[in-house]
């Protein structure tokens, strides 16, 4: 299970093939050096030829040529949309500030400049509404617009209008009928169309010769996986005149007045809009991507292959049931409706958006599914996929309900996945050219194993506590090195920032990414001991000598990021870096020591203290057949408390607690991931604890233990054997 990896988020970024990687390395290491194409030396001229040949190849990919279209390189689809939003001239006077109003489609007045978009639009399209250089905003559906066009008379308007159309929904994969572009242009000649083709072009051909779109935007990493910082606007020749720029940069002009504001911009469409030097190494790398697609058989072959995988998964999700006959999933997307196998590719792309259901019909939160998928090495997307319009439409979330979610603290990327028993997002599987039927089977096996015919939650039987409880502290643990092994103590100092020296050290990669046991299980074997104001790090296997880190010594100051918090820290030097590399960890990794001037006093992800209970551990021991110590160690808590044999999961209802004379508040429950699958002695992974917790919490979030905050800011002591008094319950 550890070694198998299945990538099912190709709509987020395409996977890169091994042959493509090899070709890319050839470009970098074996080809002649490239140079700035603005320079007239040999390398610059050669680079200019490569850039222009790639433009031609891009146009050929869209079945068009320089006679009809021009290619402008941008950073990505978002930057392309931003450029159009800022520069599009809704009238002959160029962009100017207005106060747009939102109007329904049937109330539109075409004598005022209009920005039109679908509800099913990526956030980057929705963001165009804030440009404030138009009069009215219309947000509608394909069906409403289609009917409106059929009934409307041709419009003669003195101002211009912009229709930003989603070609394929990044939320559910629905493909929209692109013939609507020519139909609406015929009725409203002064309307220009921006086609967001980012989700469409990686897996389906797009012939621009038959589509009267002024601007087509997309990102190359969606097609090839690499390069990531490159996109394009394909401009219909002549319509670049409707983009009015005030700024000009290097390479985009022929002459500028030095004592005035005059400027002669270049005639070439691309160079006029590409300010500064283009990313010529990334542009040259596009040839490797195009070659890879051609080696596969072309984009038509990719479409046939990915749609076959999509149909297979859709069939599994819609035909498989629980033992009681209830469905296991709900699949979203109107592209599936009224389609046959033969014409499905006209209406649907290789994306399946869904939520899993329990046997009683309730929705399984996508966070729970993500964690199980992570355990099986499956990468998929969850949430609203940066498309809140389609998300709310398919999940039937009203504006008032969305506001309630907002008030409850819902944020992009958090673990709030349900609302009043309903989903707040979905799961998305998206296929690419490198996926196989074995990938689909692995996903189906994970779903069948983890989510079909599971027993009802066992947790409800514990949820009966209603009075304060007395117990005692059985264990104190700290982790001087974040993701290192545990150090137990019979007594220890506490403060408002956590246990003294807890998670004061952290290892990062040479790129500054925190290193954890999930990626580097070797960290389990790094033991920690204290000697005065130093921490002694030792390799449990004894292959290398110990490393002493002075906790008072100040080294080079650096900044690091743990979860969502920016923290300042000190680099512990080359000797520490070399020591960890000698353990087999990546070269260039750096050991950081927290700067005590931070408001946050440790490198923990969420809170200052984590507490679990002996009875709760004991219950999981019965479910997993592991030893008590093995289960306790996997949860990496600071405190273990004994509140009696019948107190399992009492911590879930706590609000306030005393350990000795020190008062703590419960701030939240601890949501668990596959970190608890790691045996803290060997570093090996076994899913038994996570699966047991999933079965226990079925229907709720997979939490175990609670986060604590010390009420007093003064330093205190805790000691094993101290009385624990739960003073307030929820």
Residue 79 confidence class, pLDDT cut points 50, 70, 90: very high
Rama region for 383: left / alpha / beta (φ>0; ψ in -120 to 50; rest) = left
Q: What is the pLDDT of residue 725?
A: 93
**247-262 pLDDT, tens digit each:** 888 888 989 999 999 9
Q: What is the pLDDT of residue 542?
A: 82
| Token pair in block for residue 82 | 């931003």
Residue 565 confidence class, pLDDT cut points 50, 70, 90: low
Residue 253 included in any domain: yes
Of the candidates 125, 209, 197, 204, the residue with the CA atom closest to the CA atom of residue 167: 197
Residue 713 confidence class, pLDDT cut points 50, 70, 90: confident
Number of domains in the chain: 4
Of the candidates 302, 245, 297, the residue with the CA atom closest to the CA atom of residue 271: 245
Residue 485 included in any domain: no
Residues 531 and 651 reside in one and the same domain: no
Alpha-carbon distance 6 to 439, whole Å?
Answer: 6
**DSSP bridge partners of 696:** none
Asked whether 454 and 359 are in contact (CB, 8 A), the reply is: yes
Residues 684 and 723 reside in one and the same domain: yes
Residue 212's contacts (CB-CB under 8 Å, 6 or more residues apart) are 181, 182, 185, 193, 236
H or E segment to which residue 405 belongs: helix 399-407
Q: What value does the mean pLDDT of the chain take?
A: 90
Asked whether 239 and 214 are in contact (CB, 8 A), the reply is: yes
**177-221 pLDDT, tens digit each:** 999 999 999 999 999 999 999 999 999 999 999 899 999 999 999
Alpha-carbon distance 400 to 406, whole Å?
Answer: 10
Roughly what angle, to the nearest 10 degrees, separates helices 437-451 and 299-319? 20
Asked whether 709 and 665 are in contact (CB, 8 A), the reply is: yes
Of the candidates 114, 303, 128, the residue with the CA atom closest to the CA atom of residue 206: 303
**364-376 pLDDT, tens digit each:** 999 889 988 988 8
In the three-class reduction of DSSP (H, G, I as helix; E, B as strand; rest coil), residue 37 is classed as coil
Alpha-carbon distance 522 to 541, whole Å?
Answer: 11
Residue 1 included in any domain: no
Structural domain ending residue among the three candidates 547, 563, 594: 594
H or E segment to which residue 622 belongs: helix 614-624
**579-623 pLDDT, tens digit each:** 999 999 999 999 999 887 655 667 887 788 999 999 999 999 999
**504-516 pLDDT, tens digit each:** 899 999 988 899 9
Residue bearing the bigger pLDDT, 245 or 585:
585
Residue 510 included in any domain: yes
Residues 464 and 434 reside in one and the same domain: no
Residue 491 included in any domain: no
Residue 173 included in any domain: yes
CB atoms within 10 A of CB 358: 19
Residue 580 included in any domain: yes
Residue 457 confidence class, pLDDT cut points 50, 70, 90: low
Asked whether 231 and 77 are in contact (CB, 8 A), the reply is: yes
Asked whether 457 and 701 are in contact (CB, 8 A), the reply is: no
∠ at Cα 712 (706, 714), nearest 5°?
Answer: 120
In the three-class reduction of DSSP (H, G, I as helix; E, B as strand; rest coil), residue 662 is classed as strand
Structural domain ending residue among the three candidates 550, 569, 594: 594
CB atoms within 10 A of CB 32: 9
**152-188 pLDDT, tens digit each:** 999 988 899 999 999 999 999 999 999 999 999 999 9
Q: What is the pLDDT of residue 463?
A: 55
- Tell whether the model's pLDDT for residue 2 goes beyond 90: no
- DSSP code string of 184-214: HHHH-TTEEEEEE-TTTTTTS---GGG---S
Residues 468 and 440 reside in one and the same domain: no
In the three-class reduction of DSSP (H, G, I as helix; E, B as strand; rest coil), residue 310 is classed as helix
Q: What is the pLDDT of residue 456?
A: 56
User: Is 412 among the residues known to form the active site?
Assistant: no
Alpha-carbon distance 241 to 545, whole Å?
Answer: 69
**DSSP bridge partners of 487:** 478
Of the candidates 4, 642, 123, the residue with the CA atom closest to the CA atom of residue 391: 123
Alpha-carbon distance 78 to 71, whole Å?
Answer: 16
Q: What is the pLDDT of residue 601?
A: 67
CB atoms within 10 A of CB 86: 16
- Tell whether the model's pLDDT for residue 339 goes beyond 90: no
Residues 421 and 568 reside in one and the same domain: no
For 590-626, b/e burial (b = at least 16 CB within 10 A) is: bbbbbeeeeeebbbbbebbbbbbbbbbbebbbebbeb
Residues 645 and 587 reside in one and the same domain: no
H or E segment to which residue 631 belongs: helix 628-634
Q: What is the pLDDT of residue 600?
A: 61
In the three-class reduction of DSSP (H, G, I as helix; E, B as strand; rest coil), residue 396 is classed as coil
Residue 53's contacts (CB-CB under 8 Å, 6 or more residues apart) are none
Quick one: 8 exposed, middle or buried, by C-beta within 10 A (0-12, 13-18, 19+)?
buried
| Token pair in block for residue 185 | 């242009």
Residues 628 and 573 reside in one and the same domain: no
**620-650 pLDDT, tens digit each:** 999 988 999 999 999 999 999 999 988 889 9
Asked whether 295 and 18 are in contact (CB, 8 A), the reply is: no
Structural domain ending residue among the three candidates 248, 278, 308: 278
H or E segment to which residue 505 belongs: strand 505-508
Residues 263 and 306 reside in one and the same domain: no
Residues 427 and 316 reside in one and the same domain: yes
Q: What is the pLDDT of residue 460?
A: 55
Pairing of strands 191-196, 215-219: parallel
21-29: list long-range contacts, CB under 8 Å, 24+ apart. 23/288, 23/291, 23/292, 24/226, 24/285, 24/288, 27/284, 27/285, 27/287, 27/288, 28/281
- Tell whether the model's pLDDT for residue 462 goes beyond 60: no
**89-119 pLDDT, tens digit each:** 998 766 667 789 999 999 999 999 999 999 9
- Identify the CATH number of the domain in which residue 616 sits: 2.40.33.20
Residues 683 and 555 reside in one and the same domain: no
Alpha-carbon distance 326 to 131, whole Å?
Answer: 48
Residue bearing the bigger pLDDT, 466 or 212:
212
Of the candidates 594, 690, 592, the residue with the CA atom closest to the CA atom of residue 634: 690
Q: Residue 154 gets which letter from DSSP?
A: P
Residue 613 included in any domain: yes
Residue 680's contacts (CB-CB under 8 Å, 6 or more residues apart) are 485, 486, 524, 630, 633, 634, 636
- Tell whether the model's pLDDT for residue 465 goes beyond 90: no
Residues 330 and 385 reside in one and the same domain: yes
Asked whether 181 and 150 are in contact (CB, 8 A), the reply is: no
Alpha-carbon distance 200 to 119, whole Å?
Answer: 17
**267-307 pLDDT, tens digit each:** 888 888 999 999 999 999 999 999 999 999 999 999 999 99
Roughly what angle, to the nearest 10 degrees, separates helices 614-624 and 688-696? 110
Alpha-carbon distance 171 to 279, whole Å?
Answer: 30
Residue 563 confidence class, pLDDT cut points 50, 70, 90: very low
For range 466-487, the mean pLDDT: 88
Domain that holds residue 392: 299-451
Alpha-carbon distance 234 to 687, whole Å?
Answer: 49
Instruction: Estimate to the nearest angstrom the gap between the alpha carbon of 662 and the chain centroid.
Output: 40
The one catalytic residue in 192, 288, 384, 386 is 386
Question: Does residue 534 have a cis bond before it (omega within 30 degrees)?
Answer: no
Residues 136 and 98 reside in one and the same domain: yes
- Identify the CATH number of the domain in which residue 414 sits: 3.90.1150.10
Asked whether 508 and 589 are in contact (CB, 8 A), the reply is: yes
User: Half-sphere exposure of residue 85, counting CA atoms within 13 Å on the CB side?
Assistant: 19
**DSSP bridge partners of 217:** 196, 233
Alpha-carbon distance 583 to 452, whole Å?
Answer: 42
């Amino acid at each position: 299970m550890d070694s198998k990896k299945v990538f099912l988020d190709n709509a987020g970024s395409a996977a890169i093939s091994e042959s493509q990687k090899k070709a890319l390395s050839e470009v970098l290491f074996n080809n002649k050096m490239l140079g700035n194409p603005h320079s007239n030396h040999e390398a610059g001229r050669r680079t200019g030829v490569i850039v222009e040949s790639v433009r031609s190849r891009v146009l050929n990919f869209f079945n068009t040529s320089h006679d009809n279209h021009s290619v402008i390189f941008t950073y990505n689809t978002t930057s392309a949309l931003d450029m159009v939003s800022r520069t599009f001239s809704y009238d002959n006077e160029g962009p100017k500030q207005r106060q747009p109003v939102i109007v329904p489609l049937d109330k539109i007045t075409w004598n005022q400049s209009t920005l039109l978009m679908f509800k099913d639009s990526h956030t980057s399209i929705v963001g165009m509404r804030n440009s404030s250089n138009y009069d009215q905003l219309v947000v509608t559906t394909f069906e409403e617009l289609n009917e409106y066009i059929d009934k409307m008379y041709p419009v003669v308007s003195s101002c211009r209008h912009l229709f930003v159309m989603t070609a394929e929904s990044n939320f559910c994969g629905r493909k929209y009928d692109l013939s609507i572009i020519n139909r609406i242009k015929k009725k409203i000649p002064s309307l220009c169309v921006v086609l967001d083709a980012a989700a469409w072009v990686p897996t389906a051909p797009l012939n621009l010769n038959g589509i009267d779109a002024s601007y087509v935007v997309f990102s190359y990493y969606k097609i090839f996986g690499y390069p990531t910082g490159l996109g394009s606007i394909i401009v219909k020749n002549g319509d670049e005149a409707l983009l009015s720029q005030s700024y000009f940069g290097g390479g985009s002009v022929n002459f500028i007045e030095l004592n005035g504001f005059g400027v002669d911009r270049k005639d070439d469409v691309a160079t006029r809009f590409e300010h500064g030097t283009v990313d010529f190494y990334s542009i040259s790398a596009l040839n490797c991507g195009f070659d890879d697609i051609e080696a596969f058989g072309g984009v038509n072959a990719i479409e046939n292959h990915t749609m076959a995988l999509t149909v297979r998964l859709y069939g599994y999700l819609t035909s498989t049931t629980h033992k009681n006959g209830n469905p296991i999933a709900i699949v979203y997307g109107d592209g599936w409706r009224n389609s046959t196998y033969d014409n499905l590719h006209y209406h649907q792309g290789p994306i399946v958006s869904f939520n899993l259901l329990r046997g009683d019909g309730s929705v399984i939160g996508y966070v729970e599914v993500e964690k199980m998928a992570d355990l099986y090495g499956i990468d998929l997307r969850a949430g609203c996929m940066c498309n809140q319009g389609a998300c709310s439409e398919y999940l039937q979330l009203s504006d008032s309900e969305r506001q309630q979610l907002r008030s409850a603290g819902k944020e992009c990327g958090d673990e709030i996945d349900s609302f009043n028993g309903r989903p707040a997002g979905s799961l998305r599987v998206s296929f690419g050219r490198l996926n196989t039927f074995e990938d689909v089977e692995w996903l189906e096996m994970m779903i069948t194993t983890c989510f079909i015919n599971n027993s009802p939650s066992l947790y409800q039987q514990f949820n009966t506590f209603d009075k304060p409880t007395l117990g005692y502290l059985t264990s104190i643990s700290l982790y001087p090195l974040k993701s290192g092994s545990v150090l137990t103590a019979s007594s220890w100092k506490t403060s408002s920032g956590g246990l003294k020296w807890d998670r004061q050290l952290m290892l990062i990669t040479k790129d500054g990414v925190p290193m954890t046991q999930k990626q580097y299980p070797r960290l389990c074997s790094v033991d920690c001991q204290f000697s005065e104001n130093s921490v002694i790090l030792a390799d449990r296997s004894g292959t290398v000598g110990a490393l002493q880190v002075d906790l008072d010594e100040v080294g080079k100051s650096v900044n690091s990021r743990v979860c969502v918090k920016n923290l300042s820290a000190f680099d512990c030097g080359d000797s520490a870096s070399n020591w960890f590399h000698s353990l087999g960890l990546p070269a260039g990794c750096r050991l950081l020591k927290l700067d005590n001037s931070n408001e946050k006093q440790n490198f923990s992800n969420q809170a200052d203290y984590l507490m679990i209970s002996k009875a709760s551990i004991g219950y999981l021991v019965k479910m997993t057949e592991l030893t008590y110590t093995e289960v306790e160690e996997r949860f990496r808590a600071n405190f273990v408390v004994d509140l009696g044999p019948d107190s399992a999961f009492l911590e879930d209802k706590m609000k306030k607690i005393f350990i000795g004379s020190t008062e703590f508040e419960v701030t939240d429950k601890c949501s668990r991931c596959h970190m608890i699958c790691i045996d803290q002695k060997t570093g090996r992974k076994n899913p038994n604890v996570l699966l047991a917790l999933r079965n226990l919490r079925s229907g709720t979030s997979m939490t175990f233990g609670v986060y604590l905050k010390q009420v007093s800011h003064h330093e205190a002591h805790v000691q094993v054997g101290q009385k624990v008094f739960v003073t307030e319950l929820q």
